[in-house]
Amino acid sequence: MTHPTDSQLQFETIWESYFKPARLLLLESDPLRALILDQENNLDLFDPQGKNIFSLQLQDQIKSISLSDKLETLAITSNGQSMFIDHEGKILFKKRIVPALLGNISPSGNFFSFLTRDATIVLTDKIGRPKWVYRNLQKIPSFLQTSNDAEFIIFDCVDDRRDGIAVLKNDGKPAGSFMGISLLKDIRISKTEAIITALDSQNTVYSFSAAKSKRLVKTALEYDISGISYSEKEQKILAFSKSGQLFLIDSQGNVIWNYQMATGILSAKISNDGRELFLATETGKLTLLRSKSLQEKNLSEINEIKTNENQAPESSLTKFFKRNWQIDLEKPFDGEKSMAVHWMDDNGIEYLFFYNGRQSISLYNDNGEEIWSQRINQKKIRSLAASQDGDLLLILGQDGAAGYDLEGSEKFRIMGRFSASHVFHSGNFVLLTDKKNVKLYSSEGNLIKIPEEINKISQLAGLESSLCLLSEKEICLANSEMKLGKKISLQGKPEHFRADNPSNTFFISFTDSSLFLIDQAGNELYRYKFPFKVTDAAFNSVEDVIIAFSEESAETLIINNRTDKKYNIHLNGKVTCLSFHEHGYVAATSIDELYLLGYSGERLAHYTFPDKIMSIQTCVNMKDVFIIAESSLTKLSLEEKT
């Protein structure tokens, strides 16, 4: 076995989220999700972004929990009852299907498997009707696992050959066993290929094929390992210890990577494509890590994109756009356009700072109520920006920049010719002069001396704490104090350039139809060669899906990097703008129709908008959208059809 250095495989943190001290904890991947029962008997479900979907206070003491791909929960109470909870945290039923010790819901959500107090294994459908009962148990199992649609059910067992794993088929008949193993600490079965992975008390890691009754891997580790996870596509096993060690084992049983975390690990999962690690640490933190080198390797596999393959599947619409409120406005003056920027305060209230294109600015809350409004003397506004922490609203116009506090009072005015601006989370902001120099200011409008002069910059784009500077032949990263960081040479002539806040990435499209994505540290995520010139794109870093469109050729393409599939989208009219949404992407077309598109290109919702759409902004909750139109400002939500 080889133990390469950590530098051969590097992971970066995508997001972190916190949870309360846990009594029961379950991590799953594809899709990422975490189900946690805390010490106060609250059951919490976390989504792929680490956000809490629901928190449910339970009255019963819970002995086991399991989770389907549909985010349905099966919980077993201390008195043997089964509690079935839907994806919104609603208890659909609580009843005694069998006197259960353990319970498991299949990933498909169609079957329950139970270990009973009578020492039997029972398979039922999702409303509790028994399919079969298996009684030949020589010990009470500690583990019970089910493949995708209950094709195989596995559990730990014992006979005269010591401990092992028993495998049952969907009809309840034995499909074989794997014996001669020391006492088991963990067992898993993959969804599609039914690959069993196991960890015994001697810290030996195994994998078996349930379908072929064949052992695939046996690897002894020299550490006290506490759990395992399996990547079906890459055929890799992730092993982890409570002391914070991580190991990746390939299909030949070789340890190809190991790493020592700074904190202990309660549970860990590897994604199906092997590119992401999902961790729960003893400090109460959920963390998603993504491999940099694996992304680069995947790049060449989808570099040449053919739009005549894998057409986006048509499906019945499952959701609809609901108008929450609409504010009717006069059309902007000639040469002006309406625009907005939004944020959420510490109390969970979202605010929208709006310019109407008629020399007037306003602040609205998320109920559409106007907080304040006032006239401004500036013309031809180019951009708006905001910082809640810096108490700053920044307006950039043709004659300079003006700063206002959140109450609408003017703080400062900076005269000059500027082509671009950006406000950092701290309130510091930068202006790009017409002579291509970058200047840094405090939230009060005072000029700040920067470490070195920055010039010959054609464009800039920023995130909360980082800035990307574009020059003729390279891009350069900088922080909020304008300390320069990583530089990347460019090949080709840039055409479109912007920052994407939801994914914390920068997009650069080129005249040769290529698209370049980097993260806020300057690491290359993807480089694509498109069959069209890209006007704009949006990237979901958690689902690892990108959508790009061209106004010139009326083409729209979705690429799912995780599945290596691509979908050519055909809508009514050309796509003119789009925004990320928790269910996919909201896109507007040239004939002012709105679509919610899923990650595989399926149409989930459709809405004909009564005004010319200028831009779309997704709310912080990722559920609702603001529509900035020629003569209106509207908030829409996406609702499930009943």
Q: How high is the pLDDT of residue 78? A: 94
Q: How high is the pLDDT of residue 491? A: 76
Q: In whole angstroms, what is the distance from residue 338 CA to residue 331 CA?
A: 9
- Number of Cα atoms under 13 Å in the Cβ half of residue 631: 5
Partnered with residue 214 across adjacent β-strands are 209
Q: How high is the pLDDT of residue 412? A: 95
**pLDDT tens per residue, range 599-610:** 888 889 999 999
| Cα-based distances in Å from 71 to 31, 85, 161, 267, 550 | 9, 9, 39, 19, 36
Q: In whole angstroms, what is the distance from residue 39 CA to residue 21 CA?
A: 6
In DSSP notation, 534-545 reads: -SEEEEETTTTE
| Cα-based distances in Å from 125 to 111, 146, 153 | 5, 13, 14
Residues counted in the chain: 642
Q: How high is the pLDDT of residue 551? A: 79
Q: How high is the pLDDT of residue 295? A: 45
* Coil/strand/helix, residue 622: coil
Question: Which is nearest to 505 in space by CA: 492, 490, 523, 489?
Answer: 523
Decide the pairing of beta strands 484-489 and 285-291. unpaired
Q: In whole angstroms, what is the distance from residue 45 CA to residue 527 CA?
A: 34
* Coil/strand/helix, residue 7: helix
441 is written with which tokens?
Answer: 């200011």
Q: How high is the pLDDT of residue 485? A: 85
Are 141 and 102 in contact by the 8 Å Cβ rule? The answer is yes
Q: How high is the pLDDT of residue 9? A: 65
Query: Along the chain (642 residues), what's the average pLDDT of each consecutive run of 10 residues?
Result: 44 84 89 90 88 92 94 95 94 95 94 94 94 92 94 93 93 92 94 92 94 92 93 91 93 89 92 87 89 45 39 64 95 92 87 94 95 92 90 93 94 94 92 93 93 86 90 88 86 85 85 84 78 85 83 81 79 88 91 90 90 92 92 94 80
Partnered with residue 156 across adjacent β-strands are 165
Alpha helices in 380-420 (DSSP H): none
